[in-house]
Chains A and B, each alone.
Chain A
């Protein structure tokens, strides 16, 4: 089975711009979660989608949003980028019933 894929792997943006990241889960997985990893804060949960519905949300501002498509692929959008948004953004998929989550390689976002 192919693993979780994320595109792009690297991205450089400037403050004020917006960005869209994409995640394709493992085939058959219906849950997709997004995490932000920074050196100071570690891995922090952004949100989780299951069957095209946001089922769970972390403590991030409304500039961070996401969606899930009928094929379980998910996108994450960050608007009005700030320098502090520079991070590794990780996507994880699971069957959705509390099982283990499997992570993609991440998208490294740099905001200048």
Chain B
């Protein structure tokens, strides 16, 4: 039972264009969402997060959008750069204690930005 789904295993875009990575979730108890980037042989690096009380959060070239009614979030990277090529993981958690201090990850999307 996969609670966080990234349905596109890979995505290829041209340098300078927009990259859009998508993520769906099924657990309505999730109310905090994060995106991580991972290079081979390294641990995931935190990119950006969003709380369920917001529908958008922006940090430089990275913007995360949350559609709570659709249980969908997306990460936009504008403009895309070759150094952005990595695996991107969507993760979700429930803030509030108890069993919610864990991240549930999607299986990742490999982004390739071509020069």
**Total contacting residues, chain A, CB less than 8 A:** 26
**Chain B interface residue count: which class?**
20 to 34
Q: From residue B38, how far is it (CB to closest CB) to chain A in Å? A: 9
A55 to B43 alpha-carbon distance, docked (Å): 23
Assuming the A-B contacts A4-B43, A90-B44, are A101 and B103 also in contact, with contact meaning beta carbons closer than 8 angstroms in the complex?
yes
CB contact between B100 and one of A4, A43, A98 (< 8 Å): that residue:
A98
* B105 CB-CB contact with A under 8 Å: yes
Q: From residue A99, how far is it (CB to closest CB) to chain B in Å? A: 9
* B93 CB-CB contact with A under 8 Å: yes
Which residues of chain A come closer than 8 Å to B43, judged between CB atoms? Answer: 4, 90, 92, 103-106
Q: From residue B97, how far is it (CB to closest CB) to chain A in Å? A: 8
- Within B69-92, the residues touching A (CB, 8 Å) are 89, 91
A14 to B30 alpha-carbon distance, docked (Å): 39
Q: From residue B5, how far is it (CB to closest CB) to chain A in Å? A: 11
A102 to B42 alpha-carbon distance, docked (Å): 12
B105 A42 Cβ-Cβ under 8 A = yes
